[in-house]
Structure 1
Amino acid sequence: MVEAHSQKQQIQQVVYRILDANLDRAREGLRIIEEWCRFGLNDAQLAETCKHLRQEVSNWHSAQIRAARDTPGDPGTVLTHPQEEQRSSITSLLQANFCRVQEALRVLEEYGKLHDANMGKVFKQMRYQVYTLESTLMGHQRHQLLWRSHLYLVTSPVDNLLETVEASLKGGLTLLQYREKTADDLIRLQRARKLKQLCHDYGALFIINDRVDLALAVDADGVHLGQQDMPIAVARQLLGPQRLIGRSTTNQQEMQGAITEGADYIGVGPVYETPTKVGKAAAGLNYVSYAAKNCSIPWFAIGGIDASNINDVIDAGAQRVAVVRSLMQAEQPTLVTQYFISQLYRK
């Protein structure tokens, strides 16, 4: 009986140590997320949600559990992973800490059942709350970055696709659309995964042209739809409220239709005739001027824009432009990206 009692006490101490470590881990991760909500987003409601969750975690951190802590005897204090030593962007930092919190809450949910019958239930519900918080916050992040993005690169098939995109990202690009109409799906999937990783390494948004299924498969930030693609409402049902949906428009009616449908942004053009849109007449600078006065969501002038005419497009009212050939075929994409951005910020 004595041995059984002693063994039970030992197991209880181990459980307390596990609870202690994961209560700390959950609270620390929530604090990191809270700081970004407070100072990065200036969002009092999201910050308050994080604070409430953090305080709820703290309420379970009793003196009894804390007393079981044995930092010198914990082999986990010397374990590390190369990915923990660097964060390439705010997005990767937030995602890492959401994962940290969710894993900790799952541990607390399971081991908590051995400590208090109610503890498992509480942390199960909290885990679902954190999933919702992550969805809301990452959607918020996407929309904020969209509003801050002034240059949008739409890819075209080139041999040095990844190199060109990375060079543009180094120049300050924050919004990329992967557009490829003819490659096999497997090739597109592989390229999309690599491009998405590149974009997120540089803190940029990654959009897929047309293909909602591909956007979901690679967890892209959104999708761009043409006038003949599926309705925005259907895409929204599939993608959820937190991903971005863009729509191409060529005239005033299409612009108003896209806004009414719930597009997050639109393309305005083609401003000039372009081989990217064979046979499509240019919408011209008048449409750019109309958008500048009437469009209530982010919009990007697109179509035949290059270094020789970007200032005409800006003078017509554009604050954001999308380009294809002028970057995809550039000898020095980094410098061209920097030039475009400098012109877009000059007003």
Structure 2
Amino acid sequence: MNKSETSEKVARLIDANLNRLKEGIRVIEDINRYIYDDASLTSELKSLRHKLQIIYSQERLYFRDIENDVQKKSIESELKRSSVTDLVIANFSRAQESARVLEESFKLIDPVLSEIAKEVRYGLYGVEKKFFLKHSATEV
């Protein structure tokens, strides 16, 4: 793979993980907003999600290749959730993993953006702890 192909593949990797990260945060944010009526955690999550705007680049859309994504089909475990807590756990994991991929990927391009992804990842760790300390006894 030449340097141009590599940068295109990295752009695709960043695009996919930024989408996954923002979507995961949004699911948790909306659960805190609409199910738990938790203004504090909703606000923290919204702030983390908005922190990602500086990372967004319309140019990466050019490298998006949904049709040829080898993993776009869901596996069985992704199709089943038995509770809101399961949704929260799955989406915290999804978001944290994506933030880590972004953190590592941006080390190839822009260390400042790598640090932003790291800050978001650690922010998610903190919000996750707060969520489960507040809501672990209130299963929905």
TM-score class, shorter-chain normalisation, is: over 0.9
Q: 2:24 aligns with which of 26, 29, 45?
A: 29
Q: Does 1:20 align with 2:15?
A: yes
Q: Distance in 2 between matches of 1:125 and 1:54?
A: 11
Deviation at 1:135, TM superposition (A): 0.4
Q: Distance in 2 between matches of 1:142 and 1:70?
A: 39
Query: Per the alignment, in what secondary structure is the counterpart of residue 76 of structure 1?
Result: coil
Matched to 1:131, the amino acid is Y
Deviation at 1:120, TM superposition (A): 1.4
Q: Which residue of 2 aligns with 1:115?
A: 109
Deviation at 1:121, TM superposition (A): 1.4
Alignment deviations for residues 221-273 of structure 1 (CA, whole Å, 9 cap, x no partner): xxxxxxxxxxxxxxxxxxxxxxxxxxxxxxxxxxxxxxxxxxxxxxxxxxxxx
Q: 1:136 aligns with which of 123, 126, 130?
A: 130
Query: Per the alignment, in what secondary structure is the counterpart of residue 65 of structure 2?
Result: coil
Task: Specify which structure has the higher proportion of strand.
Answer: 1
Deviation at 1:59, TM superposition (A): 2.7
Query: Per the alignment, in what secondary structure is the counterpart of residue 2 of structure 2?
Result: helix
Scaled by the length of structure 1, the TM-score of the pair is 0.39
Aligned runs of 1:165-314 on 2, under 5 Å? 203=139
Runs of 4 or more, structure 1, over 3 Å off, are none
Q: Is the CA contact 1:33–1:94 (under 8 Å) kept in the aligned structure 2?
A: yes
Q: Which residue of 2 aligns with 1:104?
A: 98
Q: Distance in 1 between matches of 2:34 and 2:132?
A: 15
Q: Is the CA contact 1:23–1:58 (under 8 Å) kept in the aligned structure 2?
A: no
Deviation at 1:36, TM superposition (A): 0.9
Deviation at 1:13, TM superposition (A): 0.3
Aligned runs of 1:140-159 on 2, under 5 Å? 140-143=134-137, 145=138
Scaled by the length of structure 2, the TM-score of the pair is 0.93
Q: Which residue of 2 aligns with 1:76?
A: 71
Q: Is the CA contact 2:52–2:116 (under 8 Å) kept in the aligned structure 1?
A: no
Q: Which residue of 2 aligns with 1:61?
A: 56
Task: Specify which structure has the higher proportion of helix.
Answer: 2
**Greater CA drift, 66-75 or 7-16:** 66-75
Deviation at 1:84, TM superposition (A): 0.5
Q: Which residue of 1 aligns with 2:119?
A: 125
Q: Distance in 1 between matches of 2:53 and 2:81?
A: 27
Query: Per the alignment, in what secondary structure is the counterpart of residue 48 of structure 1?
Result: helix
Unaligned runs of 5+ in 1: 1-5, 146-202, 205-347
Deviation at 1:77, TM superposition (A): 1.3
Deviation at 1:67, TM superposition (A): 2.0
Query: Per the alignment, in what secondary structure is the counterpart of residue 72 of structure 1?
Result: coil
Alignment deviations for residues 129-184 of structure 1 (CA, whole Å, 9 cap, x no partner): 100000001111124x2xxxxxxxxxxxxxxxxxxxxxxxxxxxxxxxxxxxxxxx
Query: Per the alignment, in what secondary structure is the counterpart of residue 81 of structure 2?
Result: coil
Query: Number of aligned pairs?
Result: 140
Task: Give the structure with higher Rg (CA).
Answer: 1
Please provide the CA RMSD for this pair: 1.6
Unaligned runs of 5+ in 2: none
Work out the percentage of aligned pairs sharing the same amino acid: 35
Structure scoring higher RCO (CA < 8 A, sep ≥ 6) equals 2
Q: Distance in 2 between matches of 1:55 and 1:67?
A: 23
Deviation at 1:112, TM superposition (A): 1.1
Q: Distance in 1 between matches of 2:44 and 2:24?
A: 13
